[in-house]
């Protein structure tokens, strides 16, 4: 095999070498921050880690040298990408620019793969595929070995590298990416992401076995985004979202995230019935259906897409003016990624998160169903969820300070420019002792347990406040001794009391599976306190 040589060049030399392609292929006049540095390092054969915010031009760092090296040396840059839709978008955009690029999926004919890997005249500059395709295709692996022995593998680019941290728990192929270094030890590797905490950077570098990588990072602050966290009130959230869109974004493109497929379908229908051009997107649809929805949203036929959180990674739609989360994101990394799909054109965009502490259990239940071989995956999930809960519940510190701090970046609150709810509305806090009400709330829960009735936290709040509804009268619940004990409390304060009791583990939630295969969360007094009488 022809070894990879260290062809280290200065930034001036790199500019002279690549600026022509920058202009002729990408129609750009200037390199953005760290792009030229990344190109110089990777073409010198060094491993690199590129951390840039969404829309900063990460892909150019490997696309530009790939085009040059293919023209000069018939070399191929291999891009490992997480989603077929993302591969399709990237390849389509490159081909439109006249670049030789190929995406390999499960539908790709073996003859096309052989031509790309074994015939010199057919070699693309960039070859895209998923980790699963690399893991399962013997033909693809043999072709890469052939190129390696010929010295024609320029580099591996692992795009959206944060997936190594966030997706390896349910996509086993992400745990096997170390084979790139094992099987092709002389080929430089470039990892690229817009989302990685300092711990995440270390984890990714170790997983990929990067050798003394050059880490190029820049601020991940998205100054044009406004961050708002709103209390999630069941029964009122849809009206709030509808008002938000009609008032500020009636003619704008936006994304609304929900956790479950059925929720996406229902919300999209409700928006359409109220004159909003909305459509659902989720994994329950066929690839063809998803592709059609995505295409119509990108071209503006659909204004709003209501999707599960896998949607949107790497989308090249510049004019998304809002992102709304109806449910708690899985982590701060996920939240940053998902909100980062707004305002890629640099113009103002809004990010709204509807938060309820009760959503925490939903995320933990979804995460606990996966097993990834780590020492304690449940503890890792709890830590990630705890950080996003802390972000949501903070009422005084700037949202940007909290978010960027998680990614190892210091941020001065005065630079926020009132582009988060905490900075816009400086909170004034009033201290109030609610210990007596908290004791009564615990007693209400224990009384139901003593009566062998299961009760949810939401039902507890309504009963504690003395709401007179069919639900509160069901099975004689209104006859509980503590029914209406918190009648003087607002809904928000009563909810806060129950949330705090759960956080302090004075109350605990437990799951009961139904005959239909799903389950419900009910609440009880923590076992060690169950024999204490609260009056």
- Regions of the chain where pLDDT drops below 70: 1-8, 168-170, 310, 312-314, 367-379, 427-430, 514-518, 527-535
| 395 DSSP assignment | S
Share of the chain residues as helix, strand and coil, in percent rounded to the nearest 5: 45, 15, 40
Quick one: CA dihedral 222, 225, 229, 233, positive or negative?
A: negative
- The pLDDT of residue 197 is 85
CB 232 within 8 A of CB 362: no
pLDDT of residue 105: 86
Query: What residue spans define the domains of the chain?
Result: 11-217, 225-424, 435-529
435-529 CATH pick, 3.40.50.10070, 3.40.190.10, 1.10.10.10, 3.20.20.30: 1.10.10.10
Contact 353, 228 (CB under 8 A): yes
Do the domains 11-217 and 225-424 sit in the same CATH topology, yes or no?
yes
- Enclosing H/E stretch for 243: helix 237-248
C-alpha span between 220 and 181 (Å, rounded): 29
pLDDT for the residue 371: 46
DSSP states of 70-81: HHHH--EEEEE-
Paired sense of beta strands 76-80 and 304-307, if any: unpaired
pLDDT at site 535 = 41
Residues 6+ apart with CB under 8 A from 242: 271, 274, 276
- pLDDT one-digit tens code per residue, 221-267: 999 999 999 998 878 899 999 999 999 998 999 999 999 999 999 99
Fold type of domain 225-424: Rossmann fold (3.40.50)
By percentage, how much of the chain surpasses pLDDT 90?
A: 49
pLDDT of residue 170: 62
- Sheet arrangement for strand 153-158: 101-103, 126-129, 76-80, 153-158, 189-193, 48-51, 214-217
H/E element holding 350?
A: strand 349-355
With helix as H, strand as E and coil as C, how does 398-444 read? Answer: CHHHHHHHHCCCCCCHHHHCCCEHHHHCCCCCCCCCCHHHHHHHHHH
Contact 207, 177 (CB under 8 A): yes
What is the β-pairing status of strands 76-80 and 153-158?
parallel
Counting runs of H as helices and runs of E as strands, what totals does the chain give? 22, 15
Provide the pLDDT for residue 378. Answer: 60
Task: List alpha helices for 78-212, DSSP H.
Answer: 84-96, 110-118, 131-136, 138-150, 163-166, 179-183, 198-208
pLDDT of residue 136: 87
Range 11-217 classified under CATH 3.40.50.300: yes
CA distances from 424 to 323, 403, 421 (A): 19, 17, 5
Give me the phi and psi of 133, to 5 degrees please. Answer: -65, -40
- Residue 456 CA to residue 345 CA, distance in Å, equals 44
């Amino acid at each position: 095999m022809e070894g990879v040589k260290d062809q280290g060049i200065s930034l001036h030399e790199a500019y002279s070498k690549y600026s022509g392609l920058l202009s002729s292929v990408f129609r750009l006049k200037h390199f953005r921050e760290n792009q030229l540095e990344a190109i110089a390092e990777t073409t010198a054969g060094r491993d690199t880690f590129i951390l840039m915010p969404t829309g900063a031009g990460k892909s150019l760092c490997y696309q530009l040298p790939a085009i040059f090296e293919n023209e000069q040396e018939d070399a191929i840059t291999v891009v490992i990408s997480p989603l077929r839709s993302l591969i399709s978008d990237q390849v389509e955009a490159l081909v439109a620019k006249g670049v030789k690029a190929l995406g390999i999926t499960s539908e790709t004919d073996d003859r096309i793969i052989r031509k790309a890997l074994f015939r010199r005249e057919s070699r693309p500059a960039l070859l895209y595929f998923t980790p699963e395709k690399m893991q399962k295709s013997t033909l693809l692996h043999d072709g890469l070995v052939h190129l390696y022995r010929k010295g024609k593998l320029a580099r591996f680019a692992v795009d959206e590298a944060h997936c190594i941290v966030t997706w390896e728990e349910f996509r086993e192929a992400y745990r096997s990416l170390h084979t790139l270094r094992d099987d092709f030890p002389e080929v430089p590797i470039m990892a690229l992401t817009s989302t990685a905490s300092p711990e995440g950077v270390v984890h990714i570098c170790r997983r990929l076995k990067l050798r003394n990588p050059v880490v190029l990072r820049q601020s991940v602050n998205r100054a044009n985004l406004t961050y708002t966290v709103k209390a999630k009130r069941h029964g009122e959230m849809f009206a709030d979202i509808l008002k938000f869109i009609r008032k500020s974004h009636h003619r704008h493109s936006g994304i609304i995230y929900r956790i479950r497929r059925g929720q996406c379908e229902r919300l999209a229908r409700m928006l359409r019935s109220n004159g909003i051009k909305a459509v659902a997107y989720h994994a329950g649809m066929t690839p063809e259906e998803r592709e059609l929805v995505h295409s119509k949203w990108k071209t503006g036929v659909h204004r709003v897409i209501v999707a599960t959180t896998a949607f949107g990674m790497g989308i090249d739609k510049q004019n998304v003016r809002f992102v709304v989360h109806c449910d708690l994101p899985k982590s701060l990394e996920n939240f940053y990624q998902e909100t980062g799909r707004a305002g890629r054109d640099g113009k103002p965009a809004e990010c709204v998160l509807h938060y309820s502490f009760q959503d925490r259990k939903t995320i933990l239940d979804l995460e606990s169903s996966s097993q990834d071989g780590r020492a304690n995956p449940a503890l890792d999930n709890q830590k990630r969820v705890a950080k996003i809960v802390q972000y949501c519940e903070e009422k005084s510190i700037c949202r940007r300070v909290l978010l960027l701090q998680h990614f190892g970046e210091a941020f001065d609150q005065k630079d926020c420019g009132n582009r988060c709810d905490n900075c816009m509305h400086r909170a004034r806090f009033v201290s109030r002792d609610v210990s007596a009400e908290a004791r009564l709330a615990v007693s209400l829960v224990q009384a139901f347990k003593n009566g062998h009735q299961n009760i949810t936290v939401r039902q507890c709040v309504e009963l504690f406040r003395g709401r007179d509804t069919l639900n509160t009268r069901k099975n004689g619940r209104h006859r509980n001794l503590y029914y209406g004990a918190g009648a003087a409390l607002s809904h928000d304060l009563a909810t806060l009391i129950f949330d705090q009791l759960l956080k302090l583990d004075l109350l605990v939630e437990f799951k009961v599976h139904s005959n239909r295969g799903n389950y419900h969360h009910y609440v009880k007094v923590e076992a060690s306190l169950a024999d204490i009488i609260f009056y």
